[in-house]
Amino acid sequence: MAMSKEWKTENEDGSVTVRTCAWSPPGDHPVGYGMKLTVKGDKLIKVEGDEEHPISQGRLCVRNLTLADYVHHPSRILTPMKRKPEDRGKDKWTKISWDEAWDIIVPKIKEYKEKHGAESIIVFGGTGRQACLYYYPLGFASIGTPNVCYPLSGWSCYGPRCSITDYVLGAGYPEIDYAGFYEDRYDDPRFTMPELIVEWGKMALYSNPDGFFGHALIDMMKRGAKMIHIDPRITWLGTRCEEVCQLRPGTDSALGLGFLNVIINEELYDKDFVENWTYGFDELKERVQEYPPSKVADITWVPEDQIIRCARMMATAKPCSIQWGLATDENPNGVQMGHAILSLMAVTGNLDVPGGVTIGPPAALLGKWRVETRSNLSDELWEKRIGAAEWPALSTAMATTHPDETLDTLESGKPYKLRMGWFNSSNFITPTCSAQPDRWYHALKSLEFNVVQDVFMTPTAMAFGDIFLPVSTFAEQDGVVVTHFGRNAVTLGPINEALRVGDTKSDIEVCIELGKKMHPEMWDYDDVPDFFTKQLEPELGVDFDGLREMGAFQPDYIYKKYEKGLLRGDGEPGFNTVTGMVELSSTLFEAWGDDALPYFKEPPYSPVSTPELFSEYPLILTTGARKVTSFHSEHRQIAVLREIDPDPEVELHPDTAAALGINHGDWVLLENMFGKAKLRAKVTPTIHPKVVHATHGWWFPEKDAEEPSLYGVWQSNINTLVPHKHIGKLGFGCPMKQMICKASRLDSFDSYNIEV
């Protein structure tokens, strides 16, 4: 299905309007909403939402409303730069041409490969910004190293959720059905409006994560869907929900098992689905007996009667869908939480049905090339991937190094020394893609040669870059955006270049250019449109220009694929798992040394697991709930957005704040046994009195760039409070959202300096 439209229009005043689909940079998850960018001369003069886009229908987020301020920002880096190794940490850069940059980079890569093996080179990349499609191929096929690293402890973003889905369902990422596949959306007769939507550890209105445009929740509420929110904070959405389960952070798997206890014991489950399409129901039934609502209430702080009420609602609402968020991943017990949630969706009969939860077919849209780039590496090299042998559950699903093992390797030089770093979309000494960024900071100093690819100078680039390669924004490049990275995608849209500022290159341009110099056989493409044509034609039957004219491709969705033999490689009915069923009891988890069934485990630091530490650090700390004004560490230099959210923030309940002598607007020091951070107090009754919430991603572009300040990166670095390697048995999850800390009032931001 497709819309058809002009993608480039000349206006009477000489300006040109280009329709495009937004991605990154500046940051966004691959929602790919429709935009119209108007350019006059060399300036972006107008940004509008595209009302014809099937999903976003003209809506925009505030970050892209300020796109022109970002594109034309005076501190953007617009040419490649180099710096002497002895000047790392100093603002002593020299502008160079791309040719000069390649003349330095290419011989270095060749030298490291020859002298120390390709595995001595590591590529770092961040979240699902556009670069995420390209930094794996950059590592595997342009450079030729097996070591590509997403450095967040326990791969705690989508890694756990996607892997659990692969192992338990054998299908692509589950999303609530919001009629995204249909041109006429909610009115399409194939769709059924869900009676109940459960938003669990997610706030999609702010985060628009990975292809889900949060506004759909409002659309569906307006059309009668009721909602439950499971969140320690009462959010804006929460105040509009039927129920808010204000749980203790990190206890979600107990809550899930409590819901299952009620649904199974009261025989409210879908007997037909359970009998025909699930494996291990009897074992699950036995397991949930360990989680009666009264006990779960004690663990989670959610009242017993509310647990029972919500469980009954989930089982009897037809259809019901559950949307699970980052709180699943940033939890060492998150694999079990995800398993419990998938089990809830399965036993209530809401998997792959209209208005329930959609799941993707085995092959990802545009996924083939990404997998094929691995063929550039020998088996011997592939086996050298850091942490692959130790963590099979993680390394089977994720083609990366194990993040925590990578930090250990940098520190110890074992099993081999890492010598060259390539920071592709990664500013992770800020409180973003790392637990204990202070440890990473010291460990990364051992790298001998580093390339950084970014839009702005960042604390990470200032600390480590030897070569800086400037990246073009999505307004300045041709590309595609595919929701959910092609696994259960609702749209695939074109990114159309509207202008180009400075001498920048997109990630795919860099991959192709470097690839042609290093491994030309892997990069047989004339240019970027030719590259996309070769990806699109076999799957969509259109070339890149065809996609531009379409505006957005919407794949068809087929419900109940398990009945039709559309999920398994052999074409048989069932699910693409070892048993062919939804594995309520997981054969793979068991094979990898974890429990086959979901279970609750206390967070590593909590009133129960570490009571002595808790008496010293008596607040539960959850971090990183999204703000609309920033994408992780991005946008701190955009004045309009900083005006809305000027400072890092800690939310405290009024009773908690009063007991600590903290007033709204005071600077507060949060600290625990691992680190410290300064944040401004936001006193609000919407947070549980025993919990505080801190924002992440903070640095200060206006502060001193050079070491030791590095743009004040250590002053509000909440991730220094989160320990390394407190991960689950399968290697996933970290306690980003369930640590402990104490809080005290500061006279001012400058009255206390934090050093690492």
Interface with ligand MGD (CB under 6 A): 24-25, 27, 29, 126-127, 129-131, 152, 157, 200-204, 206-209, 230-233, 235, 247, 249-250, 252, 325-327, 330, 424-428, 430-433, 453-456, 458, 471, 507, 622-628, 630-634, 696-697, 718-719, 736-738
Based on CB atoms, which residue is closest to ligand MGD, 159 or 170? Answer: 159
CB of 341 to ligand MGD, least distance (A): 10
Nearest Cα neighbor of 2 from 547, 435, 707 is: 547
Instruction: Please report the beta strands in 471-577, taking only residues with DSSP state E, as ranges in sequence order.
Output: 479-482, 492-495
CB of 52 to ligand MGD, least distance (A): 24
CB of 488 to ligand MGD, least distance (A): 16
CB of 329 to Mo ion, least distance (A): 8
Based on CB atoms, which residue is closest to Mo ion, 148 or 522? Answer: 148
Which range of residues in 43-51, 124-132, 253-261, 635-643 is near Mo ion by CB under 5 A? 124-132
* Residues 151/439, Cβ–Cβ less than 8 Å: no
Nearest Cα neighbor of 68 from 47, 48, 88, 83 is: 47
CB of 632 to Mo ion, least distance (A): 8
**Residue 423 is encoded by which pair of tokens?**
């920071």
CB of 479 to ligand MGD, least distance (A): 9
Nearest Cα neighbor of 599 from 231, 278, 344, 251 is: 251
Based on CB atoms, which residue is closest to Mo ion, 30 or 49? Answer: 30
Indicate the residue whose CB is closest to Mo ion.
157
Nearest Cα neighbor of 662 from 673, 653, 671, 675 is: 653
CB of 635 to ligand MGD, least distance (A): 9
Based on CB atoms, which residue is closest to ligand MGD, 543 or 706? Answer: 706
Q: Which residues contact 82 (CB under 8 A, 6 or more apart)?
A: 93, 94, 96, 100, 101, 104, 466, 467, 468
Based on CB atoms, which residue is closest to ligand MGD, 346 or 713? Answer: 713
**Bond from prior residue into 392 cis (ω within 30 degrees of 0):** no
CB of 127 to ligand MGD, least distance (A): 3
Rounded Cα distance between 532 and 539, Å, is 11
Based on CB atoms, which residue is closest to Mo ion, 328 or 406? Answer: 328
When binding is defined by CB under 5 A, the residue of 20, 66, 120, 127 that contacts Mo ion is 127
Based on CB atoms, which residue is closest to ligand MGD, 2 or 22? Answer: 22
Nearest Cα neighbor of 656 from 618, 710, 624, 694 is: 618
Based on CB atoms, which residue is closest to Mo ion, 454 or 594? Answer: 454
Residue 686 interaction partner, one of Mo ion, ligand MGD, none, beta carbon < 5-8 Å per kind: none
Vertex 484 angle, CA 549 and 696, to 5°: 120
Q: Which residues contact 655 (CB under 8 A, 6 or more apart)?
A: 689
Residue 178 interaction partner, one of ligand MGD, Mo ion, none, beta carbon < 5-8 Å per kind: none
Nearest Cα neighbor of 620 from 499, 483, 749, 736 is: 736
CB of 434 to Mo ion, least distance (A): 13
Rounded Cα distance between 656 and 671, Å, is 16
Dihedral angle, C-alpha 397, 403, 409, 414, nearest 10 °: -20
Which range of residues in 121-129, 284-292, 465-473, 694-702 is near Mo ion by CB under 5 A? 121-129
Based on CB atoms, which residue is closest to Mo ion, 127 or 460? Answer: 127
* Residues 439/455, Cβ–Cβ less than 8 Å: no
Residue 38 interaction partner, one of ligand MGD, Mo ion, none, beta carbon < 5-8 Å per kind: none
When binding is defined by CB under 5 A, the residue of 2, 22, 67, 157 that contacts Mo ion is 157
Q: Are strands 320-324 and 196-200 parallel, antiparallel or unpaired?
A: parallel
Residue 507 interaction partner, one of ligand MGD, Mo ion, none, beta carbon < 5-8 Å per kind: ligand MGD
Rounded Cα distance between 27 and 621, Å, is 26
CB of 158 to Mo ion, least distance (A): 6
HSE-CB of 667 using CA atoms within 13 angstroms: 15
Number of residues forming the site for Mo ion (CB under 5 A): 2
Based on CB atoms, which residue is closest to ligand MGD, 271 or 442? Answer: 442
For Mo ion, the binding residues (CB under 5 A) are: 127, 157
